[in-house]
Structure 1
């Protein structure tokens, strides 16, 4: 029998690896795993309390509420789109992805997270900018282009609005005050 478990804060390949290792150590067979969810194959009763305890030690949380599952899926979709440099018009691709009107998705997200989907995406982008600055592989114009900004000045204004400092100042400080993706909200 297959059991789908939704997991909050699973945002990267290292997270997936950790979940696999922990569930295997508990004796569960995984049918499939993707960001935010795992499917277990077992005829035995699943000890959700023990799974939550073990995964909770790594900052993960089992989600059972349908609205929280939807919000986590929206976040993961935005992270994946950003990573693949595919972020375009939110009001077009989110309704296609979730088969719900954008206004409904936006209201659910804002009500539960205290931030709009757009602001969440901006915060994701700013963390990506910080990563690019830290790696020092791209100049500011190339960073703006890679994140689909219309201009580097637009990115610069947004960066300053979110962080309170310019990208140059952030680079010069070399104090990489970055948030992990699961802490953005």
Structure 2
């Protein structure tokens, strides 16, 4: 049985969700960002308790297929950004269509309808939050960040960063209180 969980964005999230299912005597076969596959069927009486336990730690059990689809899209985009370097050997639309086995037109319409933004705009927001994170770590130059996140140039990254945040990457880095959003809050 597959269940979909909103807001799973990191390895610690996976461990926390796994612990909840194990505590309820369910055996996870596979847990990926946003998705839990169980060996057994979940008893209807347990669904509410699982949902409450997930909500207590900041997650949400998704019930309808459309919300599950949006959650899968978001999880795939977050996974892309978690690698050492963002490398896509195909357009984002083809990547998502292939991974989810759906036409991109369907995915983009569904996403836009439920999230009030496009997949592309959402991905840009994720990338900008990743740029902020990397700027705060202060380990990479802007050129290295640009390369790592597959921007065509530092100028392109800077333009997009300023359009989204209202400030340049350098100005952001100089802030005493950085304004970052957690990926699960996007």
Q: TM-score, normalized by length of structure 1?
A: 0.91
Counterparts of 1:99-178 in structure 2, within 5 Å, are 99-178=101-180
Shift of 1:182: 1.0
Shift of 1:146: 0.6
Structure 1 gap ranges (5+): none
Distance in 2 between residues matched to 1:44 and 1:168, nearest whole Å:
50
Structure 2 gap ranges (5+): none
* Residue 51 (structure 1) aligns with: 50
| Worse-superposed segment, 120-129 or 21-30 | 21-30
Q: TM-score, normalized by length of structure 2?
A: 0.91
Q: Give the alignment's Cα RMSD to 1 decimal.
A: 1.6
The one-character-per-residue Cα deviations of 1:1-43 (angstroms, maximum 9, x if unpaired) are xx32111111110101111122222333222211111123347
Distance in 2 between residues matched to 1:6 and 1:105, nearest whole Å:
17
Distance in 2 between residues matched to 1:95 and 1:6, nearest whole Å:
19
Distance in 2 between residues matched to 1:174 and 1:147, nearest whole Å:
25
| SS of equivalent to 1:10 | coil
* Residue 18 (structure 1) aligns with: 16
